[in-house]
């Protein structure tokens, strides 16, 4: 369970907006801890991120906020390659093959276009960066 300040940081959705959506749309529906403070699940955080992404694509919160997490995941897949996805053309070069798995895991939720593992000088020449 995560407190509201962590959710705000993870989703880039302000505490004010989270509380407003809670009142207006009945989502998120945080539980309360022993002190009465709002606490959220990892599914809440994932859904909030998806709702935010879909809103950036033009969806209104009232049209998507009631959808289940699997439906939102599917809907967000349809936007690969559109404006939300074109904000950054990040290419990651990994010079140490032993780190490939760790780097791929770290980049799992980020908008990375391509990951290239560099083992030797031949790999660098194959990049055609000129």
pLDDT tops 90 at residue 3: yes
Each residue's pLDDT tens digit, 79-94: 654 444 444 445 556 6
The per-residue pLDDT for 6 is: 93
Burial class of residue 45 (count of CB atoms within 10 Å of its CB; 0-12, 13-18, 19+): middle
In this structure, are residues 58 and 79 in contact, taking their beta carbons and an 8 Å threshold? no
Residue with tokens 């074109």: 86
Average pLDDT in the chain: 79
Cβ neighbors of 112 (< 8 A, separation 6 or more) are: 90, 91, 92
Query: Which has more confidence, 127 or 72?
Result: 72
Each residue's pLDDT tens digit, 101-111: 777 677 666 66
The per-residue pLDDT for 130 is: 46
Each residue's pLDDT tens digit, 22-69: 999 999 999 999 999 999 999 999 999 999 988 888 888 888 999 999
Sign of CA dihedral 57, 59, 64, 65: positive
Counting residues of the chain whose pLDDT is more than 90, the rounded percentage is 40
Domains and CATH numbers, the chain: 2-77 (1.10.1660.10), 90-126 (no CATH)
């Amino acid at each position: 369970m995560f407190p509201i300040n962590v959710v705000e940081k993870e989703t880039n959705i302000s505490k004010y907006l989270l509380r407003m959506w809670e009142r207006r749309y009945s989502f998120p529906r945080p539980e309360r801890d022993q002190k009465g403070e709002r606490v959220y699940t990892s599914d809440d955080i994932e859904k909030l991120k998806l709702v935010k992404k879909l809103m950036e694509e033009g969806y209104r919160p009232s049209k998507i906020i009631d959808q289940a997490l699997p439906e939102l995941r599917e809907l967000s897949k349809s936007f690969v390659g559109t404006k939300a996805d074109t904000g950054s053309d990040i290419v990651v070069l990994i010079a140490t093959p032993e780190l490939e798995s760790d780097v791929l895991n770290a980049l799992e939720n980020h908008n990375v276009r391509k990951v290239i593992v560099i083992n030797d000088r031949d790999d660098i020449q194959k990049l055609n960066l000129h």
